[in-house]
Structure 1
Amino acid sequence: MSSAFLEHVNVTVSDPEATAKRLESWFGWKVRWKGASLGGGTTYHIGNETSYVAAYSPPGTTSKVSGDSYSHHGGLNHIAVVVDDIDAAEAVIKADGYHTHNHGDYEPGRRFYFDDDDGIEFEVVSYTK
């Protein structure tokens, strides 16, 4: 069997362009593609050469999922992003006004979490000590 890797995750957001700008700022990613998509919606693909987040918004309004995603089948619990310099990444995220929480420093690395404007939880992790 050949090696497998995760190419992308697709999430519904309120404003794909704003999400793209935040991901570019936080992680140094770039918009790989943007355009019309499913059902007249709009999608931005934001990432690097090998993986990306597809930020999708349908036509019309969207609403946040309420409640704890960990207790629902199929819930998106968080998106984890590996960075080289976790302190620098946290500084950028905090400078944008986001509250970081649940910090951990244990094998195999350091991590923290934060929620974006759409309530999507991100885990930021570094395996560099």
Structure 2
Amino acid sequence: MTKGRIEHVNLTVTDIERSAAFFEQLLGWHQRWRGEAMNGGETIHVGEDATYLALYTDRKDHAGQQKGKPMNHVGLLVDDLDAAERVVMEHGLEPWGHDDYEPGRRFYFFDWDGIEFEVVSYV
């Protein structure tokens, strides 16, 4: 049997500069690649060596997404949940759904484009 992992998630956002800077600060990530993309758009890959978010924009007015259509959320693992929550709030986003159950503590937030993220810490 072969083994695998998620290498990247591709998300359409309205402002890739804002989103890239946010994830760099929230997760300690760096910009891995940047370039032109389909439909006259632009993509920034922000992440670490093995995994990243591909942030894409075609500069159109995107209304975001409805929860669960087509996905529920993207899970992000952090070492310090309280520090991560401060970063989320510093960027004007609202954490919600705080909970503490196995295997760790967590909260959720929606980004500027209506994409839901779960931030979890196993520490």
TM-score range, shorter chain: over 0.9
Contact 2:14/2:113, CA 8 A, preserved across alignment: yes
| RMSD (Å), alpha carbons | 1.3
Aligned to 1:105: 100
The TM-score, its normalising length taken from structure 1, stands at 0.88
Mapping for residues 51-66 of structure 1, pairs under 5 Å: 51-58=51-58, 60-66=59-65
Q: Deviations over 1:47-79 (max 9, x none)?
A: 111100101112x41322453x32x4xx12211
SS at match of 1:61: coil
Contact 2:65/2:113, CA 8 A, preserved across alignment: no
Q: Distance in 1 between matches of 2:34 and 2:91?
A: 24
Aligned to 1:45: 45
1:117 to 97, 104, 112: 112
Tell me the percent identity.
Answer: 46
1:90 alignment partner AA: E
Q: Structure 2: which 5+ residue stretches go unaligned? A: none
1:93 alignment partner AA: V
The TM-score, its normalising length taken from structure 2, stands at 0.92
Q: Say how many residue pairs are matched.
A: 123
1:36/1:66 Cα in 2 relative to 1: closer, same or farther (>3 Å)? closer
Aligned to 1:22: 22
Q: Structure 1: which 5+ residue stretches go unaligned? A: none
